[in-house]
């Protein structure tokens, strides 16, 4: 509860309140009129964060509506921030440069040569999203996406190492102008959306796959139960109707009509129950942007010459000094989550394997970075999303 108390105390002070902590896991708060109105507090209030508190203290915890009430005070503060990760001394250089390059860059159909290494600063854009999946049950989770805006690389695999390093950093201010200049220009909103949308969709589908499978099992179980129950009723009614098929008389005719109507009613009820189950188990997923962080980090930038047949091009690849790891290479068609890249013949684009696959209509392989809309031979529109990640 100490972290929650520190967060609430800092938030209240930033909102204009006078906060005095005590040794008993409480906060004494002198609230201004704005906070009194938003939170429904008197001018002086005690907030308790532990199991033991004063008799007049208001219990604050993660349960209930406290997060929603604190979000009213927080508003949009902190949704976009920037920090610089600073190291003591000079930025280190990896001992075996070629080994680092061989591990980071896997080109099955091309060769690469290291041309040079230079110390610089990179801007890492780290985006946080919250998704909520609601069916008969509910699942909420956070997803982090990371990009190096200097090289265009996806750095999702480095975030697990970068986030602990960031948490251990002392609180600092924004980066100095020299750092921002070295990091290069920011991505535009259109560039961010083009990169984020397909990757976020893929990540959420992977995250909710176990939840979806469990929901489908429950749906199948309940459908089987409904079917078994109504099938028993239908068989019993059909048996009674069959027994009346050879009988004559008004009473028997009335019984046959009654059993026929019973069969129709069972069918209607069966369909209605299945429709109710479909509505109850219908999956609704909502995604909200939570926060964006521009993190400036020291890197050693590799300049790499890529050769394919008679063509060649230069690409850049960053080695992050704070975590001593190289990022995945640029991916110009595909999500870029793996390190293996194919190089196309025409413009030497670096893509995923699937982005240079065969056309679904004519069977001709082609590069989706060169021809993102349709096959160059037959003009067939490709339904698979290979939105590029070309460097901004």
- 155: helix, coil or strand? coil
Where is average pLDDT lowest: 63-72, 253-262, 361-370, 376-385? 376-385
Which of residues 273, 299, 323 is at a domain's end?
A: 323
255 lies in which domain range?
208-285
Q: Do 268 and 296 have their domain in common? A: no
Which of residues 77, 100, 134 is at a domain's end?
A: 77
User: Any bridge partners for residue 143, and if so which?
Assistant: 129
Which of residues 18, 50, 77 is at a domain's end?
A: 77
Q: Do 267 and 230 have their domain in common? A: yes
The answer to whether residue 113 sits within a structural domain is: no
User: Can you give the pLDDT at residue 165?
Assistant: 78
**DSSP state string for 358-378:** B-TTT--B--TTTSSSB-TTT
Buried-state track 192-209, b at ≥16 Cβ within 10 A, e below 16:
bebbbebbbeebbeebbe
User: Can you give the pLDDT at residue 2?
Assistant: 72
User: Can you give the pLDDT at residue 373?
Assistant: 85
In terms of pLDDT, which residue wins out, 299 or 78? 299
Q: What is the mean pLDDT of residues 269-289?
A: 94
- Count structural domains, the chain: 3
Q: Do 47 and 66 have their domain in common? A: yes
Q: Which helix (H) or strand (E) holds 357?
A: none
Q: Do 199 and 291 have their domain in common? A: yes
- 387: helix, coil or strand? coil
Query: What proportion of the chain, given as a percentage, has pLDDT over 90?
Result: 58
Q: Which helix (H) or strand (E) holds 164?
A: helix 159-167
Q: Do 163 and 212 have their domain in common? A: no
The answer to whether residue 112 sits within a structural domain is: no
Tell me the CA distances in angstroms from 198 to 40, 301, 386, one per residue in order: 43, 27, 8
Task: Residue 270: name the closest of 233, 242, 238, 237 by CA.
Answer: 233
* Cβ contact 228:270 at 8 Å: no
The answer to whether residue 264 sits within a structural domain is: yes
Q: Do 181 and 293 have their domain in common? A: yes
Instruction: Give me the residue label for tokens 């041309």.
Output: 115
62-66, 84-88, 133-137: range with highest mean pLDDT: 133-137
- For residue 388, name the pLDDT band (cuts at 50, 70, 90): very low
- For residue 172, name the pLDDT band (cuts at 50, 70, 90): low
Q: Do 292 and 302 have their domain in common? A: yes
Task: Residue 331: name the closest of 316, 344, 346, 341 by CA.
Answer: 341
| pLDDT above 80 (res 167) | no
Q: Do 169 and 88 have their domain in common? A: yes
Alpha-carbon distance 132 to 354, whole Å? 30
The answer to whether residue 353 sits within a structural domain is: no
Alpha-carbon distance 1 to 133, whole Å? 28
Alpha-carbon distance 146 to 99, whole Å? 25
Q: Do 87 and 160 have their domain in common? A: yes
Q: Do 291 and 198 have their domain in common? A: yes
287: its two tokens = 């995604």
Q: Do 149 and 269 have their domain in common? A: no
Q: What is the mean pLDDT of residues 24-39?
A: 88
| pLDDT above 60 (res 310) | yes
The answer to whether residue 339 sits within a structural domain is: no
The answer to whether residue 389 sits within a structural domain is: no
Query: What proportion of the chain, given as a percentage, has pLDDT over 70?
Result: 96
User: Any bridge partners for residue 293, and if so which?
Assistant: 81, 126
- 116: helix, coil or strand? strand
| pLDDT above 60 (res 1) | no
Beta strands 111-134 and 138-148, pairing class = antiparallel
The answer to whether residue 249 sits within a structural domain is: yes
pTM of the model: 0.79
- For residue 392, name the pLDDT band (cuts at 50, 70, 90): very low
**DSSP state string for 305-322:** EEEETTEEEEEEEEEETT
Q: Do 317 and 177 have their domain in common? A: yes
The answer to whether residue 267 sits within a structural domain is: yes
| pLDDT above 60 (res 269) | yes
């Amino acid at each position: 509860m100490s972290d929650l108390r520190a967060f609430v105390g800092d938030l209240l002070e930033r909102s204009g309140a006078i906060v005095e902590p005590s040794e008993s896991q409480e906060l004494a708060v002198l609230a201004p009129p704005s906070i009194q109105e938003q939170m429904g507090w008197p001018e002086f209030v005690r907030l308790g964060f532990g199991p033991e508190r004063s008799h007049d203290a208001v219990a604050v915890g993660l349960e209930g509506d406290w997060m929603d009430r604190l979000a009213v005070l927080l508003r949009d503060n902190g949704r976009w921030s920037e920090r610089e990760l600073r190291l003591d001394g000079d930025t280190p250089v990896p001992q075996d440069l070629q080994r680092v390059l061989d591990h980071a860059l896997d080109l099955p159909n091309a060769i690469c040569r290291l041309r040079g290494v230079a110390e610089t600063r990179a801007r890492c854009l780290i985006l946080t999203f919250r998704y909520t999946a609601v069916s008969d049950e509910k699942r909420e989770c956070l997803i982090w996406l990371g990009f190096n805006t200097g090289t265009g690389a996806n750095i999702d695999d480095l975030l697990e190492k970068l986030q602990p390093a960031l948490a251990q950093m002392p609180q600092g201010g924004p980066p100095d102008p020299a750092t921002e200049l070295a990091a290069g220009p920011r991505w535009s909103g259109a560039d961010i959306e083009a990169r984020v949308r397909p990757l976020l969709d893929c990540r959420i589908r992977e995250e909710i796959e176990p939840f979806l499978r469990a929901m489908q099992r429950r749906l199948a179980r309940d459908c089987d139960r409904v079917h078994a129950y109504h099938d028993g009723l239908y068989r019993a009614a059909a048996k009674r109707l069959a027994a009346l098929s050879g009988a004559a008389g008004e009473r028997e005719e009335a019984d046959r009509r009654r059993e026929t109507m019973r069969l129709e009613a069972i069918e209607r009820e069966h369909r209605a129950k299945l429709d109710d189950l479909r509505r109850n188990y219908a999956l609704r997923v909502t995604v909200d942007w939570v926060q964006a962080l521009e993190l400036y980090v020291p890197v050693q930038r590799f300049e790499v010459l890529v050769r394919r047949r008679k063509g060649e091009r230069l690409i850049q690849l960053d080695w992050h000094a704070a975590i001593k790891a190289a990022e995945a290479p640029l991916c110009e068609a595909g999500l870029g989550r793996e390190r293996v890249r194919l190089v196309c013949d025409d413009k030497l684009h670096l893509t995923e394997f699937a982005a240079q696959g065969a056309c679904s209509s004519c069977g001709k392989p082609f590069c989706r970075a060169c021809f993102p809309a349709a096959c160059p031979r037959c003009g067939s529109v490709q339904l698979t999303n290979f939105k590029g990640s070309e460097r901004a």
